[in-house]
């Protein structure tokens, strides 16, 4: 029955339990395809669409408030309709998704870059270092990230002039979401590092006087990074939601480079007057994007963490 | 026991101190408070006089001491934007937020616990699968989108429920205004409270479910089954009680986040609470309101955490004897 | 009549790579007052057999063939509601780890009375009296005081006594003890074994003692069943198995136990390891590791037959008709 030896790497890949579980979870397969398509649509927007919805001179007010192509009055050039300034909704969504994805991914990267080292140091050293780091993390965990991000954003808004603020708005947003979410990564990494620390191979490494930095980097890090990355997948979804929420509240990215949240906020004003497509299509895109990422994250957690199965 | 409580209160006091410090620096060093308070045509001389009068020329430590004393008395200065005392603004707005949070917390706890128990105990039931799938959709729906959808369906399309405001409000003694005594008040709170509760419901549901599954795999549950105990006793006696600790933790955190998330709900539904006050303060750089809100929210969090710690103590005998010794 | 009588029991686990047969054609029985030791490596199917008796196999595992009789009653495929009434009442189960077997949030008194009241018609006061009697019986000092204590307030050995008291609540006729001493210190192990032996002698309880520790078997068991890869390899009295093992696997097992006073360069061990359930060789599962294996061992499954002159039986082709053990 054992035939692994005779298979090529491709055969092993297809035969692997993870691949099997992936292929037998149609929801995960669909979610992955949708995510990949959305990433392509977002980052290849300049190639895929000729509209430049956020270049001020390129809009024509005569095109304003066009409904989607299948509604009376809709035209096929603007498949999902246009907004109050004649922007093509589909193109706006593509560019908006690009901003949302960028902020989501980079802010999670920042959280990980802070959380993993702190978690490893806390878990490996224990003692007061651990207590100090985890106390701070605990306190921060009790305050929702969205509030922290709001505060950081509010402070920068107050201390910078509005022109400067507009320029740095996206980096500030990334930093505020990133700073607001590191504790959960630190927690997971720490518990992993505490388990690893007690293992014999670490004792052996200490015995032959391997420098601590090397132990942390070469031995602890590779063993604790997995679970953290799985949680990070869901973290991307959360970060996208936070960004959209902040932008919706009008304290996120500026309207000149709108994200999905900004588009929803702009469109929300027209909801009562019947131009539902301006807000509902970006909203739908946002939900599908977040749901897909969540589905992938859920599957990853179930597959690689049998404890939770 | 007394030591434990004192220890926790001390910790809370430290947290509050740190928050006050942040809030103080926010107040004094972000932007220039004087230029925010006065109009364009004020002279430098007048500005200096005001600076002296407000004590902004004193040393930082003296200023911080004064800030703490003022905060303890509920005095957070005057709103730059509205030109009214901040404590007045906040106490006007607090009842609206707290009522919204309370109704949402009840909805989230009831639905979350019931759904979590059901899906945890009957994991292969078709209804569990539906609940679980929709809970994932729930986690993926940002609060403001839920709000927009509810408004679109129930206020714009069918015109059943109001899309903004608190409805008719009754003033109670002590300056508390309640919307929970009128029909229009209840109608007005339905959509916002569902909006606010939905995300928390799904979180609580998923946590209870995974805790329940975890506990059902423990040796003591297997041993309880091997002793032939009735499944009712096992599920609701042993299993449920053992999930309580993580559930209390999460419920505490979630009620805390309800206060923060009410910012979004209040914005979507133009609910006249502290959250919408705060978001306007952020947009207009109204620092006194921001710092007061920060202190107040931190205070709520600290109180909730204190209650959570005390509940642990009630539930877990191991903790009790640890503290006794 | 034997208290428990298992014949031709088969347990299977359907997986995506095919059906794993975890236990195959296993037959054994235990008399009242007898302790049957069940030994084997981890994964051999010892614990599964115990779980199958009380109807607590973890899905997708299930009994596909064979029967289990308890006091003459067929309990192989009882409904869960019926089985629940037998568990804890007629069959008591003891698990390996006393530290995790008790609910940490309830006093041991409450856990005892709950079990008693589930199966017996008693008042609370009577149940409490019964619980305290049980605590005395398993040797817990000051039982009235300890009644209201939580599990974490007991030592490991004391907790295992509580676990045994819980298993004894309703005077079961069969106790299934799954590695009851593995998690305990050696001195405490001896106390627990003495307790189990006393229960068998004085109360006539039939005991199935599942373990991989031959020391515990030598100490406690009357008879021993050796399981290899889901199949019975050898069964006989404890002395005959230890002093005069017949199946090559049992021989290897006995040789690999170091003796005090023996001076060996290296401890003999059995070459190789037990096959995975999805990778069992045809014929006798032990044949790849057996120094005596012949052609037929690789082709056909041996049956249990009388082996040697000390009365045990073994599943080995060596003892097939006319073929002397060489």
Structural domains of chain A in order of their starting residue, each with its CATH number: 25-60+79-308 (1.10.3720.10)
Task: Kindly tell me if the per-residue pLDDT of A76 is higher than 50.
Answer: yes
* Confidence tier at C289 by pLDDT (50, 70, 90): confident
Task: Kindly tell me if the per-residue pLDDT of C121 is higher than 80.
Answer: yes
From the list B136, B213, B279, the residue facing A294 with the nearest CB is B136
Inter-residue contact C325 to C261 (CB < 8 Å): no
Inter-residue contact C3 to C68 (CB < 8 Å): no
> Are the beta carbons of B242 and C103 separated by less than 8 Å?
yes
User: Does residue A128 belong to the interface with chain B, where contact is any CB pair within 8 Å?
Assistant: no
How far apart CA A260 and CA A266 sit, in angstroms, is 10
- Helix (H) or strand (E) holding A86, with range, is none
> Are the beta carbons of C278 and A1 separated by less than 8 Å?
yes
* Confidence tier at A2 by pLDDT (50, 70, 90): very low
DSSP string, A7-26: S-HHHHHHHSHHHHHHHT-H
Task: Kindly tell me if the per-residue pLDDT of C137 is higher than 90.
Answer: no
> Are the beta carbons of C18 and A1 separated by less than 8 Å?
yes
How far apart CA A284 and CA A278 sit, in angstroms, is 11
Cα angle vertex C164, ends C120, C56, to 5°?
75
ipTM of the complex: 0.85
Contacts of C281 (CB under 8 A, 6+ apart): C275, C287, C288, C298
Mean per-residue pLDDT for A60-74? 75
**pLDDT given at position B301:** 83
> Are the beta carbons of B263 and A150 separated by less than 8 Å?
yes
Closest Cα in chain A, distance from residue B320 (Å): 22
**Helix (H) and strand (E) counts in chain B:** 14, 2
Task: Kindly tell me if the per-residue pLDDT of A255 is higher than 60.
Answer: yes
Where exactly are the structural domains of chain B? Answer: 1-81+284-325, 92-273
From the list C95, C107, C169, the residue facing B223 with the nearest CB is C95
**Interface with A, mutate which of C17, C18, C277 (most A CBs under 10 A):** C17
Span B92-273: which CATH code? 1.10.3720.10
**pLDDT given at position B39:** 63
Closest Cα in chain A, distance from residue C279 (Å): 6
How far apart CA A44 and CA B286 sit, in angstroms, is 40
Determine the length of chain A: 309
Chain A residues within 8 A of B305 when measuring between CB atoms: 142
Mean per-residue pLDDT for C38-61? 87
Going by DSSP bridges, is the β-strand pair C206-210/B177-178 parallel, antiparallel, or unpaired?
unpaired
How far apart CA C254 and CA C192 sit, in angstroms, is 24
**Residues of chain B with confidence (pLDDT) below 70:** 1, 27-41, 54-55, 322-325
| Per-residue pLDDT tens over the stretch B208-232 | 888 888 888 888 999 999 998 998 8
Mean per-residue pLDDT for C107-127? 92
Mean per-residue pLDDT for C97-123? 90
Mean per-residue pLDDT for C238-261? 83
User: Does residue B315 belong to the interface with chain C, where contact is any CB pair within 8 Å?
Assistant: yes
Residue B152 DSSP symbol:
I
Chain C residues within 8 A of A20 when measuring between CB atoms: 16
How far apart CA B231 and CA B3 sit, in angstroms, is 40
Handedness of CA B235, B241, B243, B249 (dihedral sign): positive
Inter-residue contact A187 to A137 (CB < 8 Å): yes
Give pairs for A65-68: CB < 8 Å, separation 24+: A65/A270, A65/A275, A67/A275, A67/A277, A68/A277, A68/A281
**pLDDT given at position B266:** 92
Task: Kindly tell me if the per-residue pLDDT of C326 is higher than 50.
Answer: no
Task: Kindly tell me if the per-residue pLDDT of C323 is higher than 60.
Answer: no
Mean per-residue pLDDT for A202-221? 85
**pLDDT given at position A6:** 54
Percent of chain C with pLDDT over 90: 27
Percent of chain A with pLDDT over 90: 18
**Interface with B, mutate which of A155, A169, A267 (most B CBs under 10 A):** A155
**pLDDT given at position C131:** 92
Task: Kindly tell me if the per-residue pLDDT of C165 is higher than 70.
Answer: yes
Mean per-residue pLDDT for C264-285? 78
Residue C58 DSSP symbol:
P
Mean per-residue pLDDT for C304-315? 81
User: Does residue B220 belong to the interface with chain C, where contact is any CB pair within 8 Å?
Assistant: yes
How far apart CA C73 and CA C75 sit, in angstroms, is 6
| Per-residue pLDDT tens over the stretch B99-153 | 999 999 999 989 998 999 899 888 888 998 889 888 888 888 888 889 988 988 8
Helix, strand, or coil (residue A138): helix
Task: Kindly tell me if the per-residue pLDDT of C281 is higher than 90.
Answer: no
From the list A271, A290, A298, the residue facing B148 with the nearest CB is A271
Task: Record the pTM.
Answer: 0.78
> Are the beta carbons of C278 and A20 separated by less than 8 Å?
no
**pLDDT given at position A309:** 34
Task: Kindly tell me if the per-residue pLDDT of C150 is higher than 80.
Answer: yes
| Per-residue pLDDT tens over the stretch A151-163 | 777 777 777 777 7
**pLDDT given at position C226:** 92
Q: Which residues of C touch B (CB under 8 A)?
A: 54, 56, 84-89, 92-93, 95, 97, 100-107, 114-115, 118-119, 150, 152-153, 163, 166-167, 169
The average confidence (pLDDT) of chain A is 82
Q: Which is more confident, A10 or A75?
A: A75
**pLDDT given at position C107:** 92
DSSP string, B7-24: HHHHHHHHHHHHHHHHHH
Query: Which residues 159-188 of A have a C-beta within 8 angstroms of B?
Result: 159
| Residue C60: cis peptide before it, omega within 30 degrees of 0 | yes
């Amino acid at each position: 029955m054992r035939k692994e030896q005779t298979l090529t790497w491709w055969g092993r890949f297809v035969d692997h339990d993870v691949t099997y579980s992936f292929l037998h979870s149609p929801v995960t397969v669909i979610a992955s395809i949708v995510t990949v398509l959305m990433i392509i649509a977002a980052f290849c927007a300049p190639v895929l669409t000729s509209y430049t919805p956020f270049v001020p001179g390129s809009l024509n007010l005569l095109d304003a408030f066009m409904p989607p192509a299948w509604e009376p009055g809709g035209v096929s050039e603007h498949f999902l309709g246009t907004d109050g300034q004649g922007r093509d909704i589909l193109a706006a969504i593509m560019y908006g998704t690009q901003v949302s994805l960028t902020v989501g991914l980079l802010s999670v990267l920042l959280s990980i870059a802070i959380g993993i080292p702190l978690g490893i140091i806390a878990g490996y050293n224990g003692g007061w270092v651990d207590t100090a780091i985890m106390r701070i993390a605990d306190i921060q965990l009790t305050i929702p990230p969205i509030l922290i991000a709001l505060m950081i954003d509010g402070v920068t808004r107050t201390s910078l002039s509005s022109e400067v603020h507009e320029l740095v708005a996206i980096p500030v947003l990334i930093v505020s979401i990133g700073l607001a979410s590191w504790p959960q990564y630190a927690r997971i990494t720490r518990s992993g590092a505490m388990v690893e620390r007690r293992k014999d191979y670490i004792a052996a490494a200490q015995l032959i006087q391997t420098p601590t930095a090397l132990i942390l980097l070469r031995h602890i890090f590779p063993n604790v990074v997995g679970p953290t990355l799985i949680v990070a997948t869901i973290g991307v979804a959360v970060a996208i939601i936070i960004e959209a929420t902040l932008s919706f509240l009008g304290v996120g990215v500026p309207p000149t480079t709108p994200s999905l949240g900004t588009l929803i906020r702009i469109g929300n004003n027209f909801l009562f007057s019947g131009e539902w497509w301006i807000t509902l299509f970006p909203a739908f895109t946002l939900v599908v994007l977040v749901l897909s990422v969540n589905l992938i994250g859920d599957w990853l957690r179930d597959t690689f963490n049998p404890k939770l199965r | 026991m007394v030591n434990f409580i004192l220890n926790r209160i001390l910790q809370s006091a430290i947290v509050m101190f740190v928050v006050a410090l942040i809030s103080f620096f926010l107040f004094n060093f972000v932007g220039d408070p004087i230029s925010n308070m006065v109009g364009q045509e004020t002279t430098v001389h007048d500005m200096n006089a005001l600076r002296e009068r407000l004590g902004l020329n004193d040393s930082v430590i003296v200023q911080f001491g004064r800030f703490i004393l003022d905060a303890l008395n509920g005095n957070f200065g005057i709103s730059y934007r509205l030109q009214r005392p901040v404590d007045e603004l906040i106490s006007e707005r607090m009842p609206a937020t707290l009522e919204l949070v309370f109704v949402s917390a009840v909805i989230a706890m009831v639905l979350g616990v019931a759904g979590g128990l059901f899906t945890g105990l009957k994991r292969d039931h078709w209804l569990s699968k539906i609940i679980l799938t929709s809970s994932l959709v729930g986690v993926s729906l940002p609060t403001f989108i839920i709000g927009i959808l509810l408004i679109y369906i129930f206020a714009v399309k069918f015109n059943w429920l109001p899309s903004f405001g608190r409805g008719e409000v009754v003033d109670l003694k002590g300056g508390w205004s309640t919307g929970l005594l009128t029909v229009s008040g209840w109608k007005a709170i339905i959509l916002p409270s569902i909006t606010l509760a939905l995300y928390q419901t799904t979180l609580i549901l998923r946590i209870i479910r995974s805790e329940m599954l975890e506990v059902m795999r423990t040796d003591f549950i297997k041993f309880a089954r091997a002793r032939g105990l009735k499944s009712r006793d096992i599920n609701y006696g042993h299993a449920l009680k053992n999930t309580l600790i993580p559930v209390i933790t999460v419920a505490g955190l979630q009620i805390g986040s309800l206060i923060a998330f009410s910012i979004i709900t209040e914005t979507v539904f133009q609910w006249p609470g502290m959250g919408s006050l705060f978001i306007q303060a952020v947009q207009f750089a109204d620092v006194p309101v921001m710092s007061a809100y920060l202190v107040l929210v931190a205070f709520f969090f600290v109180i909730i955490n204190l209650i959570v710690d005390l509940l642990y103590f009630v539930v877990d005998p191991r903790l009790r004897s640890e503290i006794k010794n | 009549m034997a208290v428990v009588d298992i014949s031709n029991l088969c347990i299977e686990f359907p997986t995506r790579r095919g059906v794993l047969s975890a236990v195959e054609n296993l037959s054994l029985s235990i008399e009242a007052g007898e302790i049957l030791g069940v030994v084997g490596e981890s994964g051999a199917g010892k614990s599964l057999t115990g779980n199958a008796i009380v109807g607590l196999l973890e899905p997708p595992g299930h009994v596909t063939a064979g029967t289990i009789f308890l006091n003459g009653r067929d309990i192989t495929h009882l409904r869960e509601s019926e089985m629940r009434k037998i568990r804890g009442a007629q069959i008591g189960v003891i698990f390996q780890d006393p530290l995790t077997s008790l609910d940490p949030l309830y006093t041991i008194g409450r856990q005892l009375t709950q079990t008693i009241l589930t199966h017996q018609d008693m008042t609370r006061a009577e149940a409490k009296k019964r619980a305290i009697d049980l605590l005395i019986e398993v040797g817990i000092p000051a039982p009235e005081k300890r009644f209201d204590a939580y599990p974490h307030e007991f030592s490991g050995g004391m907790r295992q006594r509580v676990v045994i008291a819980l298993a004894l609540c309703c005077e079961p006729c069969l106790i299934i003890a799954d590695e009851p001493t593995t998690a305990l210190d050696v001195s405490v192990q001896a106390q627990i074994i003495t307790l189990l032996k006393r229960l068998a002698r004085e109360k006539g309880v039939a005991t199935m003692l599942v373990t991989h520790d031959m020391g515990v078997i030598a100490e406690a068991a009357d008879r021993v069943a050796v399981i290899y890869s889901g199949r019975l390899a050898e069964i006989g009295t404890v002395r005959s198995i230890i002093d005069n093992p017949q199946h090559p696997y049992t021989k290897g097992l006995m040789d690999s136990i170091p003796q005090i006073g023996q001076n060996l360069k290296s401890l003999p061990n059995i070459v190789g390891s037990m096959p995975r359930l999805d990778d069992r060789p045809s014929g006798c599962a032990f044949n790849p590791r057996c120094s005596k294996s012949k052609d037929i061992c690789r082709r056909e499954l041996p049956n249990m037959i009388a082996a040697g002159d000390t009365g045990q039986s073994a599943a080995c082709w060596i003892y097939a008709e006319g073929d002397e053990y060489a």
